[in-house]
Amino acid sequence: MNKVNKDNFKQDSYKYGFVTDIENEKIQKGLNEEVIKLISMKKNEPQWMLDWRLAAFERLQNMSVPKWAKAEIEEIDFQDLYYYSSPKDFKEKPKSLDEVDPKLLETYEKLGIPLTEQKVLAGVAVDAVFDSVSVATTFKEKLNEIGVIFCPISEAIQKHPELVKKYIGSVIPVTDHFYATLNSAVFSDGSFVYIPKGVKCPMELSTYFRINASETGQFERTLIIADEDSYVSYLEGCTAPMRDENQLHAANVELVALDNAEIKYSTVQNWYPGDENGKGGIYNFVTKRGLCKGKNSKISWTQIETGSAITWKYPSCILRGDNSTGEFYSVAITNNHQQADTGTKMIHLGKNTKSKIISKGISAGKSSNTYRGLVSFHRKAENAKNFTQCDSLLVGSECKANTIPLTENNSNSSSIEHEATTSKISDEQLFYCMQRGLNAEEAQSLIVNGFCKEVLQKLPMEFAVEAQKLVSISLEGSVG
Amino acid sequence: MLDIKNLNVSVEDKLILKNLNLSLGKGQVHAIMGPNGSGKSTIAHTLAGKPNYDVNSGEVSFNGEDLLSKDPYERSLDGLFLAFQYPIELPGVTNASYLKQIVNAHRKSKNETPIDAGEFLKILKEKSKQLDIPMDMHSRFVNTGFSGGEKKKNEVLQMDLLDPSLIIMDETDSGLDVDALKSTAEAINKLRNSDRTFLIITHYLRLLEYIEPDFVHVFQNGSVIETGDKSLASKIDQEGYN
Ligand SMILES: Nc1ncnc2c1ncn2[C@@H]1O[C@H](COP(=O)(O)OP(=O)(O)OP(=O)(O)O)[C@@H](O)[C@H]1O
Ligand SMILES: [Mg+2]
């Protein structure tokens, strides 16, 4: 393939790079008390929420940007960002879809997430977050009938303050680290889920995050609570326009599972990754943590990370309840100049707690892809068990893959099993497939999808096929 | 249908094929025999378009078109099939989904719609049975952990599924037990027709007793040194290459 073709090819491959031409309303640039008060006011928040934000902001003054990850990053000027942007005249969330600006509906339609009644995906409830506000939530009433609360967190703060107050910051302490604290001070919107005792949520819940405005950070905040004996499967998707600047997405996601509850949380992260020379793209600095608070509870993270210029993300499980289980299934794909530093922490506190980590890293182009993980057994975590498998696949010879699995074992009855492999797609494999009629891209995509199948299978069925396609698209232009 | 003229091929700067000439007519079965290292697999790989096989000079035409300028997958879609001497493992890729995907690649190139899942399963069952391939092999990863004989049968199965017009078999008989050799040869014989051409690379007379060749070529040091009918194979079997 000649050079010109290849470039065109690459440009086509991020099909979510368009900008919605909609007037927006921003709070002035900068990070200060004034801005935080304005955000809180825009959202009609009660005083306790504002106080909570301001306390976080105060703590932030003594904190600095973390440097732990292996990433080359341009310094972010936090005073030069917008912290709040919403479509203009968006005073209150529209009561029905008829009131939603058609341009927004069209945007989600283009992204493959239809929101209008006739077209919604059966069995999937969607909360659509556009920059700093939630613009629509589908199937809300239907879920309400069985007591499931699924709404923007800004709404939950007003309508279910007792639940929010009890759980927000209970898994990720406000002072956890710089970005978590920043998020606590300025968070805009995200989803709130509460599954009552004994309810198995009958549909997939999902949130679709879209960054549209320029020079704007998105600070998503999501809180999911599964009460005793309940079950929920939740999925988030993310995209952003193609821009030359780097944009910040710093989310906090907290999950709480009580006795015998199970939360399955899946992510398909496809933020704009920057162009093939490494210009632009999202800085995706995310804190995700789940607390298996009750006995026999289970939290399972599945992530397909294909986008963003830089990803720092370690969805973790704190296994406090006896017999609780944490799982982490990850596919991280980096191409061109992308940098991903991702993994998980499994903190075993309770007896007979189990965790399983399956990480598949695929690096192509000049990218770098690191698995960073921690498995920790507390003194009281009798008979705790972990199984970790980290596989890296290299495409080409200019990319880097690292595996940094750390362990802390203070329990003498516990066991850790660790396997790691690094492989390359061989020319022999490509030739074999091509001899059977597959072109180079198809051959590579077959092999790569095989490599990460174990993880892709963990996604809700409705999204598995899309994810497979995404895996192929993310690597376009990387075969020689 | 396949014409090889004055072909010189080197691998890693070592000249392997030297002034090779070979012509295969439509519907004919040609066998190539020759000592280890004489360049038999090299001719198979060159025809299939394996990277890093440098054609220094010479020409190959396939159905009147220049073969050597095409990509490997185009040659496959044009009807050239190579059964590998050492089939490649594809960990993580289940055999059934792989087989379906290669069938669909060929259908697509003929502007046909992807094969219906039920129909594919039916064909797969039928063809697997003929080759004594248990169906559970298809839920395993392509060639991964397959025994030597299973790998070879899987090659013949793919050959059968793709309906090629030129079949090159590189020691497909090596590693097959007596019964497997018989069922494989039967499957191959069923594929024999007036439109399909075979180039069979083998060390053993046994296979050629099942699949009778029209021509036998003796390969030595990168070119054909002798051509005859099937009696030449018997002669080599008894007397060797010296
Ligand atoms: N990549 C390579 N680098 C160097 N030499 C090679 C390479 N591939 C093949 N050769 C050499 O080319 C020659 C021909 O090899 P080829 O595999 O074609 O032999 P063959 O006739 O198929 O032998 P066999 O009967 O053992 O399968 C051998 O001397 C081999 O060592
Ligand atoms: Mg050979």
Tens of pLDDT, residue by residue over B63-73, are: 999 999 999 99
**E strands within A293-436?**
298-305, 310-313, 316-319, 325-334, 339-342, 345-348, 354-363, 368-377, 385-394, 400-409, 415-424
Which range among A9-13, A29-33, B175-179, B207-211 shows the weakest confidence by mean pLDDT?
A9-13
Query: Is there a contact between A339 and A310 (Cβ–Cβ < 8 Å)?
Result: yes
The DSSP 8-state label assigned to residue A213 in this structure reads S
Residue A384 confidence (pLDDT): 96
- CA-to-CA distance for B62 and B167, rounded, in angstroms? 12
Q: What backbone torsions phi and psi does residue A230 show, to the nearest 5 degrees?
A: -110, 170
How many other β-carbons are positioned within 10 Å of the β-carbon of residue A61?
7
Q: With an 8 Å Cβ cutoff, are A438 and B93 in contact?
A: no
Residues paired with residue A284 on neighbouring β-strands, in sequence order? A249, A311
Which range among A94-98, A236-240, B11-15 shows the weakest confidence by mean pLDDT?
A94-98
Q: Strand, helix or coil at A247? A: strand
* A451 contact B CB<8A: yes
> Mutate which of A434, A468, A472 to disrupt the B interface (most B C-beta within 10 Å)?
A434
Nearest partner of A196 among A127, A255, A292, A261, judged by Cα: A261
Look at residue B242 and tell me whether its pLDDT is greater than 50. Answer: yes
* A469 contact B CB<8A: no
Which range among A40-49, A240-249, A285-294, A396-405 shows the weakest confidence by mean pLDDT?
A240-249
Look at residue A104 and tell me whether its pLDDT is greater than 80. Answer: no
Q: What backbone torsions phi and psi does residue A185 show, to the nearest 5 degrees?
A: -80, -40
Instruction: Read off the pLDDT of each residue in A20-24 and give the average, rounded to a whole number.
Output: 73
Ligand 2: centre distance to CA B77 (Å): 24
- Chain A nearest-CA residue for B106: A437
Look at residue A464 and tell me whether its pLDDT is greater than 80. Answer: no
Residue ranges and CATH numbers for the domains of chain B are: 2-93+164-239 (3.40.50.300)
Could you tell me whether strands B80-83 and B2-11 are parallel, antiparallel, or unpaired per DSSP bridges? unpaired
B22: enclosing H helix or E strand: strand B14-24
Residue A92 confidence (pLDDT): 64
- CA-to-CA distance for A352 and A413, rounded, in angstroms? 10
Compare CB distances from A436 to B76, B109, B141 and report the shortest one's residue: B76
- Chain A nearest-CA residue for B78: A437
B99: enclosing H helix or E strand: helix B95-109
pLDDT band at A308 (very low <50, low <70, confident <90, very high): confident
- CA-to-CA distance for A283 and B242, rounded, in angstroms? 70
Q: How far is CA A453 from CA A355, A362, A473, B63, B99, in A?
A: 20, 13, 16, 40, 17
Ligand 1: centre distance to CA B43 (Å): 10
Query: Is there a contact between A329 and A458 (Cβ–Cβ < 8 Å)?
Result: yes
* A439 contact B CB<8A: yes
Contact B223 CB / ligand 1 (< 6 Å): no
Report the atom number in ligand 1 closest to the C-alpha of B222: 14
Between A102 and A173, whose confidence is greater? A173
CA angle A64, A69, A72 (to 5 degrees): 90
Q: With an 8 Å Cβ cutoff, are B88 and A451 in contact?
A: no
Q: How far is CA A77 from CA A217, A246, A472, B32, in A?
A: 11, 11, 35, 71
Q: With an 8 Å Cβ cutoff, are B81 and A451 in contact?
A: no
Look at residue A480 and tell me whether its pLDDT is greater than 60. Answer: no
Instruction: Looking at the complex, report in whole angstroms how far the Cα of residue A435 sits from the nearest Cα belonging to chain B.
Output: 5
Q: With an 8 Å Cβ cutoff, are B102 and A438 in contact?
A: yes
Query: Is there a contact between A290 and A263 (Cβ–Cβ < 8 Å)?
Result: yes
Ligand 2: centre distance to CA B124 (Å): 29
Query: pLDDT (tens digit, 9 = 90+) per residue, A382-402?
Result: 999 999 999 999 887 888 888
Q: With an 8 Å Cβ cutoff, are B158 and A436 in contact?
A: yes
- Count of alpha carbons within 13 angstroms of residue B187, beta-carbon side: 27
Between A328 and A214, whose confidence is greater? A328
DSSP secondary structure letters along B155-213: HHHHHHHH--SEEEEESTTTT--HHHHHHHHHHHHHH--TT-EEEEE-S-HHHHHHS--
For atom 31 of ligand 1, which residue has the closest CA? Answer: B37
**Token pair for A348:** 């075993």
Look at residue A167 and tell me whether its pLDDT is greater than 60. Answer: yes
Query: Is there a contact between A393 and A334 (Cβ–Cβ < 8 Å)?
Result: no
CB pairs under 8 A between A and B: 76
Contact B38 CB / ligand 1 (< 6 Å): yes
**Token pair for A78:** 């936090």
Average pLDDT of chain A to the nearest whole number: 85
Q: With an 8 Å Cβ cutoff, are A431 and B141 in contact?
A: no
How many other β-carbons are positioned within 10 Å of the β-carbon of residue A348?
33
Going by C-beta distance under 8 Å and a sequence separation of 6 or more, which residues neighbour residue A195? A148, A201, A225, A226, A227, A230, A231, A232, A261
* A242 contact B CB<8A: no
Q: Which residues 107-146 in chain B show a CB within 8 A of chain A?
A: 109, 141
Instruction: Looking at the complex, report in whole angstroms how far the Cα of residue B36 sits from the nearest Cα belonging to chain A.
Output: 21
Query: pLDDT (tens digit, 9 = 90+) per residue, B19-53?
Result: 999 999 999 999 999 999 999 999 999 999 999 99
Residue A4 confidence (pLDDT): 31
- CA-to-CA distance for A231 and A467, rounded, in angstroms? 23
* A479 contact B CB<8A: no
* B105 contact A CB<8A: yes
Residue A229 confidence (pLDDT): 97
Contact B41 CB / ligand 1 (< 6 Å): yes
Q: With an 8 Å Cβ cutoff, are B84 and A446 in contact?
A: no
Residue A78 confidence (pLDDT): 83
pLDDT band at B165 (very low <50, low <70, confident <90, very high): very high
Q: Residue B33 CA: which ligand is closest?
A: 1
Using a 10 angstrom Cβ sphere, with 0-12 exposed, 13-18 middle and 19 or more buried, the burial of residue B18 is: middle
Which range among A79-93, A195-209, A419-433, B25-39 shows the weakest confidence by mean pLDDT?
A79-93
* ipTM > 0.90 (yes/no): yes
Nearest partner of A387 among A411, A360, A409, A354, judged by Cα: A354
